[in-house]
Amino acid sequence: MKKTTTAILLLSLLGLSGAACTHVPPFQRGRLAHPTMLLDETAGPGESHVYAIHEGAVGGGAAVEGGCGCN
C-alpha cells in the first residue's frame, strides 16, 4: 500500500511538472498532429499477445486485457 501511494505521489508530481512544459498553442501543432505522434499502443493484437506470453510483466498498455491463451 505504501508502495502504491508512493507511486501515485510520484506520478502526480511528474504530472504537475508536465504542466510546466512549454505551452503550445493549437496553431503550432502541425508536427504533433502527425499520425505517428499518437501515444497509442504500437503493437497489434497478435504482437501484444506474443509479448504477454514471453514476458512476466504486464501493464502500461490498454486498460482492458483478455484471457491468457497460453495454457
**Grid coordinates belonging to 47:** 504482437
Please report how close the Cβ of residue 40 comes to another protein at its closest, in angstroms. Answer: 9
Alpha-carbon distance of 37 to 46, in angstroms, equals 22
DSSP 33-67: TSGGG--S--S-HHHHHHHHHH-S---SS-S----
Please report how close the Cβ of residue 61 comes to another protein at its closest, in angstroms. Answer: 8
Q: Using CB under 8 A, list all residues that contact another protein.
A: 3-4, 7-8, 10-11, 14-15, 18-19, 21-34, 36-39, 42, 44-47, 49-51, 53-60, 62-69, 71
Please report how close the Cβ of residue 46 comes to another protein at its closest, in angstroms. Answer: 3
